[in-house]
Amino acid sequence: MEKIKMTTPLVEMDGDEMTRVIWKMIKDILLLPYLDLKTEYYDLGLVHRNETDDQVTVDSAYATKKYGVAVKCATITPNAARMTEYQLKEMWKSPNGTIRAILDGTVFRKPIIVKGIEPYVSNWKKPITIARHAYGDIYKNTELTVPAGATAELLITKADGSQERALIHEFKDAGIVQGVHNLDSSIRSFARACFNFALDQKEDIWFATKDTISKKYDHRFKDIFAEIYETEYQSKFEKAGIEYFYTLIDDAVARVIRSEGGFIWACKNYDGDVMSDMVATAFGSLGMMTSVLVSPEGTYEYEAAHGTVTRHYYKYLKGEITSTNSIATLFAWTGALRKRGELDGNTPLCSFADKLEQAAIQTIEDGIMTGDLYRLSTLPNKRSVDTETFLKEIALHLDALL
Ligand code: NAP
Ligand code: MG
């Protein structure tokens, strides 16, 4: 069979530990034999980030801006223990944080559904995608502890020097106070990223805040979403036959549980943080959750939602057999290849990505899976295989489909 050609390169961001091992296996077993794979390679492994003073992370983000599509392996975010383990010059920042800050994106997380791994919520039939606003609120807060007898106020000093103040609380007892902010421009980008993604996926989008209690702050999110929807997206949504729906966060939570899935749930930063953990767990396994960062300019960076699976890596280094789930990392590759194909009008590339996903799902539905899924699967004929055998089994299914 002739290899499928690519015209524009993908930005390839390599990473750390077990996912770095899986990364190479996926390329060797499932991509290079079938594809004339074109990538611009950036090694975001911690060793190389340290060697380049983290410049490689910044360069990879700018390359994503240039080419439009990237695929990223999970990476270590260093802590004190990693400083010694890797003899780091500095405690480098989270690569995802650096990339997100440059691309100004929204993160969409979607579970991969397979027969035999039943969601804990029995009426969920289709995936629920969480769209998380990745700027501001409590993630950029300022906090103080307040002694008894103190008064806390909000004070804004405007560009012309005039001031506006509001009383927060007169503290009879000691307590705490917190200042948070967001930006209209960031909320607008978030809204556009959500609406574009809904059109891309042809799925309804829900958005919810606590605007009944937070009449200025949360209400601003609601108003900006409504304004952008009405002026820029309503007619496109009607043409696509999809819906934008706003409700109170309490109501959204209840409806999500009663729903059958198949929509995008846009969340403010904190709601998205905690709800994505809930949705991922309720659908089954972290190894089955993909993630894509979409920027307002329309660049896409695909990755797995899980980390570098350190515990498995140390077993691997000792020569022990591992059974690490490569599905989310594989779907990061297929997502990126399909998007590259769409942008380049390369139909064979899109169809290869579709078939590779189909082969992966069929493998699991035929009962061949990694240990994490084996523990959850309700299939009668299930069997647990090691990391590499699993990928080779997918290749057999892929050959049959091609
Ligand atoms: P993790 O790598 O997601 O792993 C946590 C545990 O979840 C694993 O020990 C494993 O459980 C299970 N697991 C996760 N992915 C799996 C898979 N594909 N197959 C099978 N089991 C899987 O999280 P972590 O241990 O908290 O973090 C490890 C490193 O990853 C850290 O250095 C962190 O900074 C980094 N990290 C990176 C990203 C990213 O790049 N996006 C995200 C999160 C964390 P068992 O051990 O019970 O089998
Ligand atoms: Mg979280």
How far apart are the C-alpha atoms of 186 and 304, rounded to whole Å? Answer: 24
pLDDT in tens, 8-17: 999 999 999 9
pLDDT of residue 298: 84
| pTM tops 0.85, yes or no | yes
92-96, 330-334, 354-358: least confidently modelled range:
92-96
Using pLDDT thresholds of 50, 70 and 90, give the confidence band for residue 208: very high
Cα-Cα-Cα-Cα dihedral sign, residues 375, 75, 344, 186: positive
Q: Taking Cα atoms as reference points, which of 351, 363, 361 lies closest to residue 389?
A: 363
Q: What is the mean pLDDT of the chain?
A: 95
Neighbours of ion ligand 2 (CB under 5 A): 273, 277
pLDDT of residue 277: 82
pLDDT of residue 156: 97
Counting ligand 1 atoms within 8 A of each CB, the residue from 286, 315, 325 with the most, and so the one to mutate, is: 286
Using pLDDT thresholds of 50, 70 and 90, give the confidence band for residue 135: confident
pLDDT in tens, 340-382: 999 999 999 999 999 999 999 999 999 999 999 999 999 999 9
Taking 90 as the threshold, does the pLDDT of residue 329 lie above it? yes
Q: Residue with the nearest Cα to atom 8 of ligand 1?
A: 309
Mean per-residue pLDDT, 246-259:
96
Counting ligand 1 atoms within 8 A of each CB, the residue from 306, 312, 376 with the most, and so the one to mutate, is: 306
With the CA atoms of 340, 345, 349 and 352 taken in that order, what torsion angle do they form, in degrees rounded to the nearest 10?
A: 110
Using pLDDT thresholds of 50, 70 and 90, give the confidence band for residue 295: confident
Taking 80 as the threshold, does the pLDDT of residue 250 lie above it? yes
pLDDT in tens, 100-121: 888 877 899 999 999 999 899 9
For 313-335, the DSSP string reads HHHHHTT-------HHHHHHHHH
Whether ligand 1 lies within 6 angstroms of the CB of 75 is answered as yes
309 alpha carbon – ligand 1 mean position (Å): 4
310 alpha carbon – ligand 1 mean position (Å): 6
pLDDT in tens, 19-71: 999 999 999 999 999 999 999 999 999 999 999 999 999 999 999 999 999 99
